[in-house]
Amino acid sequence: MQSTGTTAPLDIPRGLAGVVVTDTALGDVRGREGFYHYRQYSAVELAESRGFEDVWHLMFHGELPDAAQRTEFLAHAASLRHLPGDVRAALPAIARSCALSGPLAGLRTALSLLGASMGMRPVYDLDAGRRKADALAVCAAVPTLLTALHRLGQGLDPVEPRDDLPYAANYLYMLTGSEPEPDRARAIEQYLVSTIDHGFNASTFTARVIASTGADVAACLVGAIGALSGPLHGGAPSRALDTLDAIGTEDRIDSWIRERVLAGERIMGFGHPVYRTEDPRSRMLRQIAESFGGPLVEFAIQVEAHVEAILAELKPGRELHTNVEFYAGVVMEQCGLPREMFTPTFCAARVVGWSANILEQAEDSKIIRPAARYVGPPPPQPLPVVS
């Protein structure tokens, strides 16, 4: 590879696989162990024992809140759920424009409008306190935007947020118009906590690249959502359920899976680019699904066992297990979420992790600017004569 600067570029793996690009105090994924953490705590243990706002506080402030801090943080975050009037007025038009593409596409537009409406300035020009305030405001508004866009797309009026409900319960309330049953709200909360952050995945890295330019928080998050919208990143929960639907019955599992594996197709909900053992998020979500029970859960467990056996036979030496999307889809289906809201729900959690990464990246003034290897015709070539 040739260099145009003073430092010779290095050849690195495709997709930056395994390349360390920065230091972070936010967390890590240890794929060979099947473990990941938020700051110094196990992410799964946090999901099992803490509420969403506690972990949000941890990611933004570096510590879990005490009782007084929790009360203050919950009240402040809840007060930020309400949208500016000009943004709220624009949502019907955004929803109509995104009728075919869905709420996640609408969120990109709505977040750009929200950032402009709030007068968000580049993080490069702000102190740490102002950056954090901007990030907190956007995180609080995302569930309101998502649920409003979904309901408008269904011909329903948006439901105004309630300040007395915690994050997950309020999200379900705004989505359905009814206060959720506690076990459903808690199941979704555990899912949300478990997906706040997960290392330097494509959307998180995108957010940090944009933050490294000094752009405003909303711009960074719009880019992250664009990365998340790709089916290889955030679109698998509903696709995993589509797989269960397509298989239909237990007697069809082997033939259906074998045909697709032998054809080189990916089985949605299985395999992960980092984990070389079972995804710890999948373990936790399977337990949540089992607590609800029912035919869907029983069938999902049967499919999991069959698929893992077939993959072990046809792809020996590779550790291919269920990832977070497989049982996430099952849990969200059991809790009454429509499938078109599965990936947006993931986004409602990950926005906190993205924002924490944006805040951390904003502390570093170095722009992220990698190199590429040119493989086209050798330059300079003579220009063709104009005939």
- φ, ψ (nearest 5 deg) of residue 41: -115, 145
Say whether 272 is catalytic: yes
Considering the candidates 57, 150, 198, 272, report the single residue annotated as catalytic: 272
Sequence-distant (6+) residues with CB within 8 A of 51 are 166, 167, 189, 193
Nearest alpha carbon to residue 334 among 292, 284, 302, 298: 292
- Report how far residue 98's alpha carbon sits from residue 352's, in angstroms, rounded to the nearest whole number: 24
Radius of gyration of the chain from its Cα atoms, rounded to whole angstroms: 22
- Report how far residue 350's alpha carbon sits from residue 142's, in angstroms, rounded to the nearest whole number: 11
Burial profile 57-73: b = 16 or more Cβ within 10 angstroms, e = fewer: bbbbeeebbeeeebeeb
- Report how far residue 291's alpha carbon sits from residue 297's, in angstroms, rounded to the nearest whole number: 9
> Which helix (H) or strand (E) segment is 228 a member of?
helix 217-228
- φ, ψ (nearest 5 deg) of residue 36: -145, 160
Considering the candidates 53, 189, 304, 325, report the single residue annotated as catalytic: 325
Q: Answer for the pair 176, 336: CB distance below 8 angstroms, yes or no.
A: yes
Q: Is 9 exposed, middle or buried (0-12, 13-18, 19+ CB in 10 A)?
A: middle
Task: Give me 167's structure tokens.
Answer: 């994050």
Say whether 313 is catalytic: no
CA 280, 58, 83, 133 torsion-angle sign: negative
Q: Answer for the pair 314, 70: CB distance below 8 angstroms, yes or no.
A: no
DSSP 37: E
Task: Give every strand in the sheet of 35-38, ordered side by side.
Answer: 27-30, 35-38, 41-42
Task: Give me 361's structure tokens.
Answer: 């990246």
- φ, ψ (nearest 5 deg) of residue 30: -105, 90
Residues annotated as catalytic (active site), given as ranges: 272, 325
